């Protein structure tokens, strides 16, 4: 949250100059996202199913972004999305998670608490109607996975501090006559059996010519993320995941 607050402060500081300099746009947005997790995670042992073993439920989050549109150089966007899930479940098989051995039918509490910070640099390509976007991004995963056996009280924490380079692509489609836009955006990378996908589709109702703002929109859509990590070495043990987050969101944004 400190990083997000810093981004908002910096964007506010440049807002006045953005009004005065032609060709510079400042965009701010805040969203409310509901994500439902599925898949598995393993750390130095057997995989635990997020639904059957760990009983993670869906969670709701406030997320946001700041974007600066500049002439010549790429547009710059900073995004923040928390992904936090926890649950208490009964494991369906013997599991080793780090230094914790869990027997079938043991009760476990676990938590996934990872903040996602994205930096995106992209260009709007000069193609009308569909308005393609293309660039590069970096995602920083900052948090941990925690698991505790409620039977033995043994516990394990996996710290996650993972920077990931990504390719970014998207389209902004404006419908004729009606003030509606459709945004399709995706970030992703694949490397040696691991891959990350972060995609979303947004429909926007756009309000133009607002005093002091220029444009504003309300919208909503669907977000899908997948984290397939293979043999990631953390403290001498291998982390393997195939975690999917998916669900709807609502969004409000302004453009100066």
Number of structural domains in the chain: 1
**Which pLDDT band, with edges at 50, 70 and 90, does 96 fall under?**
very high
The answer to the question of residue 130 being in a domain is yes
Task: Return the structure tokens found at 131.
Answer: 């308005």
The answer to the question of residue 249 being in a domain is no
The answer to the question of residue 24 being in a domain is yes
Closest C-alpha among 134, 154, 162 to residue 234: 162
Give the mean pLDDT of the chain: 89
* The pLDDT of residue 21: 53
The answer to the question of residue 250 being in a domain is no
CATH number at residue 199: 2.40.128
* The pLDDT of residue 22: 60
**Which pLDDT band, with edges at 50, 70 and 90, does 122 fall under?**
very high
Mean pLDDT (whole number) for 1-26: 48
C-alpha 161/C-alpha 191 separation (Å) is 18
The answer to the question of residue 174 being in a domain is yes
The two beta strands, 25-43 and 47-49, are antiparallel
Q: Annotate 225-236 with DSSP letters as a single string.
A: EEEEEEEEEETT
Structural contact between residues 84 and 103, judged by C-beta atoms closer than 8 angstroms: no
Cα 26 off chain centre by: 21
The pLDDT tens digits of the residues spanning 17-75 come to 344 456 688 999 999 999 999 999 999 988 999 999 999 999 999 999 999 998 889 99
User: Which own/partner contact pairs does 179-187 have at CB distance under 8 Å and 24+ positions apart?
Assistant: 179/205, 179/206, 179/207, 179/208, 180/204, 180/205, 180/206, 181/206, 181/217, 183/219, 183/221, 185/133, 187/118, 187/120, 187/137, 187/139
**Residue written as tokens 């990590």?**
229
Question: If residue 179 lies in a helix (H) or strand (E), which one and from where to where?
Answer: none
Instruction: Please indicate, yes or no, whether the overall pTM of this predicted structure exceeds 0.75.
Output: yes
**Which pLDDT band, with edges at 50, 70 and 90, does 160 fall under?**
very high
The answer to the question of residue 90 being in a domain is yes
In the predicted model, is pLDDT for residue 8 greater than 60? no
In the predicted model, is pLDDT for residue 15 greater than 50? no
User: How many other β-carbons are positioned within 10 Å of the β-carbon of residue 58?
Assistant: 12
Domain coverage including residue 238: 2-243
Question: For residues 59, 206, 253 and 244, what is the CA-based torsion angle, rounded to 10 degrees?
Answer: 30
**Which pLDDT band, with edges at 50, 70 and 90, does 2 fall under?**
very low
The answer to the question of residue 254 being in a domain is no
The answer to the question of residue 248 being in a domain is no
């Amino acid at each position: 949250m400190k990083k997000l607050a810093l981004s908002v402060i910096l964007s506010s500081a440049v807002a006045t100059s953005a009004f005065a300099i032609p060709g510079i746009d400042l965009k701010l947005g805040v969203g409310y996202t509901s994500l439902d997790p599925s898949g598995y995670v393993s750390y130095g042992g057997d995989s635990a199913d997020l639904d059957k073993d760990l009983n993670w439920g869906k969670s709701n989050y406030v997320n946001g972004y700041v974007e600066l549109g500049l002439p010549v150089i790429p547009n710059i966007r900073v995004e923040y999305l928390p992904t936090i899930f926890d649950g208490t479940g009964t494991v369906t098989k013997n599991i080793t998670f780090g230094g914790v051995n869990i027997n079938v039918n043991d009760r476990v509490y676990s938590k996934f608490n990872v903040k996602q910070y994205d930096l995106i640099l992209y260009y709007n390509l000069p193609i009308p109607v569909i308005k393609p976007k293309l660039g590069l991004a970096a995602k920083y995963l900052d948090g941990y996975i925690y698991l505790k056996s409620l039977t033995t009280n043994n516990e394990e924490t996996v710290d996650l501090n993972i920077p990931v380079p990504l390719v970014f692509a998207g389209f902004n489609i404006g419908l004729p006559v009606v003030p509606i836009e459709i945004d399709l955006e995706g970030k992703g990378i694949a490397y040696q059996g691991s891959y990350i996908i972060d995609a979303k589709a947004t429909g926007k109702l756009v309000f133009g010519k607002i005093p002091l703002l220029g444009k504003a929109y309300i919208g909503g859509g669907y977000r899908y993320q997948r984290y397939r990590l293979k043999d990631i070495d953390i403290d001498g043990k291998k982390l393997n995941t195939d975690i999917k987050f998916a669900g709807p969101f609502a969004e409000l944004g302004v453009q100066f």
